[in-house]
């Protein structure tokens, strides 16, 4: 029996809402619902019909989705947890307000561990809040002093029952999640800003000036002891874009490499076992800044200039390169989405450009596109490939895939 599909994925707009003061980072798909945070309210929308299930008055806050409910952290340090079923407030605790940096935190939800929220408090502390009992389990000083480094958010990565903490200082901490005790502390020459955990390896990036183009090193450490397996000095000063991306054999760093024509995205890769340099492509990945993702050993970059570039993560060889928006997004910056980070769902890659394109990541074949007139500043995709687009203007729209005809031959 042979089956042949007729046509590509087709989408239809299901509903549209106008949310005053919409927070683009506070949109979550939870089961059959869509939770939406705004400056004055927290709302829950039935994702298929667009019906408003409930709305609760709120204030401007950072939203964090947890297994127990949605947490809202305000600038003055108030942390409230809301039930996703009806929006009722489960509890509220008072923390020290975050000083000089955006709020940062991590949700702990794993077998053998309690439901906890680890969150930066004040300028120097990391605090653990038990989401089941609403108690503060522990507080730990994770910065040596409240200087310029404290103006950068804490970066948290979990490794088993340890939480790795980097915060723009020349040290990397491993903290016991249950007790808050420091298990090991690694000091280096440069400031640690990004960490990736892959199996029994930690890959830590440290630079002379955090967040700016400067000399840097990449280190591979044991997550349980802090022992350094190897240290690689980067061949040129770089400004890192995001955390290191790890494949089975390679660690890839994506870099911002500006030239006289504007920003470009480059890549640099190291052997995961030895730290040897595999390749270096200054500005050679794509024009403009790109949202990057590794899928099946392929580094994919969705550029703000309208390009989709795929390179072999191990060798740097180009697999394919497609142009969707041409140069239009360059001449019309207002049409660029605020984030071009691609979304992988059900084997398809959803790309926010001036429109949303759906492609097959293996070869870049176009599977479909959304007939949206909204700029996809924020993009969410559910398990059925339903797409939710939010625009900074406050509009939120839902699109669902239409049935696809298939010819069956015997």
Token pair in block for residue 121: 């408090």
CB 42 within 8 A of CB 53: no
What tokens appear for 218 in the block? 């990449």
pLDDT tens, 154-190? 889 999 999 999 988 899 999 999 999 999 999 999 9
pLDDT at residue number 410: 61
Sort 259 into a burial class: Cβ within 10 Å, 0-12 / 13-18 / 19+: exposed
pLDDT in tens, 254-306: 999 988 878 899 999 999 999 999 999 998 888 888 999 999 999 999 998 88
pLDDT mean across residues, the chain: 89
C-alpha closest to that of 101 among 188, 167, 3: 167
For residue 5, pLDDT beyond 60? no
Domain boundaries, the chain: 1-19+340-410
Q: Torsion angle, CA of 163/166/170/173, rounded to 10 degrees?
A: -10
Spatial separation of the C-alpha atoms in residues 319 and 300, rounded to whole Å: 10
**Whole-angstrom distance, CA of residue 300 vs CA of residue 367:** 17
Share of the chain above pLDDT 70, in %: 91
**C-alpha span between 378 and 249 (Å, rounded):** 32
Residue whose C-alpha is closest to residue 301's, from 265, 348, 272, 326: 265
* Residue 211 clears pLDDT 90, i.e. is over it: no
pLDDT in tens, 308-334: 999 999 999 999 999 885 445 454 667
**Which spans in 260-366 are helix H?**
328-331
Q: How many CB atoms lie within 10 A of CB 151?
A: 15
**pLDDT at residue 324 in the model:** 81
- The phi-psi region of residue 112 (left if phi > 0; otherwise alpha if psi is between -120 and 50; otherwise beta) is left
CB 190 within 8 A of CB 217: yes
**Residue 351 clears pLDDT 80, i.e. is over it:** yes
- Are 238 and 255 in contact by the 8 Å Cβ rule? The answer is yes
How far is the C-alpha of 298 from the C-alpha of 278, rounded, in Å?
15
pLDDT band at 112 (very low <50, low <70, confident <90, very high): confident
pLDDT for 350 equals: 95
Confidence band of 4 (pLDDT split at 50, 70, 90): very low
Find out whether 165 and 154 touch, Cβ atoms under 8 Å. yes
Per-residue pLDDT at 17 exceeds 90: yes
Can you read off the two tokens belonging to residue 134?
């609403």
pTM of the model as a whole: 0.89
Return the closest-CA partner of residue 153 out of 181, 188, 194, 113: 194
User: Which pLDDT does position 386 carry in this prediction?
Assistant: 92
Instruction: For residue 335, give the DSSP letter.
Output: G
Contact 217, 242 (CB under 8 A): no
pLDDT digits (tens, 9 = 90+) for 359-394: 999 998 999 988 778 999 999 999 998 999 999 999
Nearest one of 33, 5, 69, 64 to 409, comparing CA atoms = 5
Reported as a pLDDT band with limits 50, 70 and 90, residue 406 is low
- With b for 16 or more beta-carbon neighbours within 10 A and e for fewer, the 165-197 pattern comes to bbbbbbbbbbbebeebeebbebebebbbbbbbb
Query: Looking at beta carbons, which pairs linking 84-89 to residues 24 or more positions away fall under 8 Å?
Result: 84/30, 84/33, 84/35, 84/44, 86/54, 87/42, 87/44, 87/54, 87/55, 87/56, 88/56, 89/56
Mean pLDDT for 202-218 is: 92
Is residue 27 pLDDT above 90, yes or no? Answer: yes
d(C-alpha 353, C-alpha 82), whole Å: 33
Predicted pLDDT of residue 113: 85
Count of other CB atoms within 10 angstroms of residue 284:
17
Among 215, 217, 253, smallest CA distance to 237 is for 215
The CATH-assigned architecture of domain 1-19+340-410 is Beta Barrel (2.40)
| pLDDT confidence tier of residue 2, bands split at 50, 70 and 90 | very low
Q: Which of 2-11, 119-128, 195-204, 223-232 has the lowest mean pLDDT?
A: 2-11
């Amino acid at each position: 029996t042979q089956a042949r599909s007729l046509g590509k994925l087709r989408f239809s707009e299901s509903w549209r809402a106008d949310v005053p003061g919409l927070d683009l980072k506070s949109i979550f798909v939870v089961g059959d619902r869509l939770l939406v945070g705004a400056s004055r309210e927290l709302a829950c929308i039935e994702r298929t019909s667009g019906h408003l299930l409930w709305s609760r008055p709120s204030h401007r806050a950072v939203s964090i989705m947890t297994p127990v409910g949605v947490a809202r952290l305000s600038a003055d340090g108030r942390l409230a947890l809301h039930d996703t079923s009806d929006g009722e407030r489960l509890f509220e605790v008072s923390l020290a307000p975050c000083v000089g940096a955006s709020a940062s935190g991590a949700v702990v939800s794993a077998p053998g561990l309690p439901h906890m929220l680890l969150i930066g408090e004040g300028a120097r502390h990391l605090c653990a809040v038990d989401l089941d009992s609403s108690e503060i389990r522990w507080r730990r000083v994770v910065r040596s002093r409240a200087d310029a480094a404290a103006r950068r958010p804490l970066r948290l990565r979990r490794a088993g029952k340890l939480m790795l903490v980097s915060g723009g200082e020349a040290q990397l901490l491993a903290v016991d999640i249950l007790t808050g005790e420091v298990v090991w502390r690694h000091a280096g020459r440069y400031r640690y800003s990004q960490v990736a955990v892959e199996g029994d390896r930690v890959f830590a990036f440290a630079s002379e000036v955090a967040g700016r183009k400067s000399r840097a090193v990449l280190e591979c450490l044991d997550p349980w002891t802090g022992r350094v397996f190897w240290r690689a000095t980067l061949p040129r000063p770089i400004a890192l874009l995001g955390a290191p991306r790890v494949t089975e054999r390679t660690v890839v760093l994506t870099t911002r490499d500006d030239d006289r024509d504007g920003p470009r995205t480059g890549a640099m890769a190291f052997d995961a076992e030895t730290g040897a340099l595999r390749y270096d492509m200054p500005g050679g990945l794509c024009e403009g800044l790109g949202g990057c993702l590794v899928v099946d050993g392929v580094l994919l970059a969705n550029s703000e200039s309208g390009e989709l570039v795929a390179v072999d993560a191990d060798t740097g060889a180009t697999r394919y390169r497609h142009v969707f928006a041409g140069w239009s997004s360059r001449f019309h910056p207002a049409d660029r989405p605020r984030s071009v980070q691609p979304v992988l769902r059900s084997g398809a890659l959803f790309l926010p450009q001036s429109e949303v394109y759906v492609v097959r990541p293996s070869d870049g074949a176009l599977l479909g596109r959304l007939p949206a007139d909204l700029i996809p500043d924020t993009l969410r995709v559910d398990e059925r490939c339903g797409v939710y687009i939010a625009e900074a203007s406050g509009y939120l729209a839902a699109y669902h895939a239409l049935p696809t005809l298939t010819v069956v031959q015997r």
